[in-house]
Structure 1
Amino acid sequence: MPVIKPISDLRNYTEVTGNVSYGNRVYLTKNGHGNITMIDMKELDDLEKELALYKFKYEMAIAEQSIRTEGTVSEDELAKELGVKL
C-alpha cells in the first residue's frame, strides 16, 4: 500500500523518511497532486540497472533487425569505409 503524505509533512523529515524502505515508496503531494516520490537508494540503483539492461536489449534487437534486413559488410569494406589499413 503506497504511503501518500502532503509535502508539508517534510517539516518532520525523520518521520517521513522512516516510512521509506525497499519496495515501499513515499509519495508527497502538493495541493492534492503528486509532486515528489521518495525511494530507497538500493531500489533506485536496482531500477536504474534494470532500465539500462532493457535499453541495451532494445538496441541489440534493433541491431539484429538491421543485420537481417540490410546485411553486414566485410572486414575489407569496413576498413575502406573507415579509412584504415589492415
Structure 2
Amino acid sequence: MPTIMPVSSLRSYTEVLEGVAPGTPVFLTKNGQGRYAILDMDDYDRLAAENRLLSELQSGHTSGEQEGWIASEHVKKHFVERAGDGL
C-alpha cells in the first residue's frame, strides 16, 4: 500500500523520510492532487537505468526502421569474430 501524505507533512520531514524505503516511495499531494514522489536512491537509480535502456532500445528501433535491419546471421558472425579476438 503506497504512503500518501499532504505536502504540508514536510514540516516534520524526518517523519516523512522514515516512510521511504526501497520499493516504498512516499507520495505527496498538493491541494488533494498527487504532486511529488520521494524515492529511495536505489529505486531512483533503477528507474534512471531503465529509462536509459528504453531510450537506447527506441533509438535502435528507429535506426532499424530508417536505415534497415541487420540480419541475425550477421550479428552472430560479428560477435563470434570479436570473441575470437579476445574481446
**TM-score, scaled relative to structure 1:** 0.73
Q: How many residues align?
A: 69
**3-state DSSP of counterpart to 2:23:** coil
- Name 1:67's counterpart in structure 2: 67
- Name 1:9's counterpart in structure 2: 9
**TM-score, scaled relative to structure 2:** 0.73
Any stretches of 5+ residues in structure 2 without a counterpart?
70-87
Shift of 1:67: 2.4
Shift of 1:66: 1.9
User: Max radius of gyration: which structure?
Assistant: 1
Q: RMSD of the TM alignment (CA)?
A: 1.4
CA distance in 2, matches of 1:64, 1:32: 45
Please give the per-residue CA displacement for 1:54-82, whole angstroms capped at 9, x wherever unaligned: 1101111111122228xxxxxxxxxxxxx
Any stretches of 5+ residues in structure 1 without a counterpart?
70-86
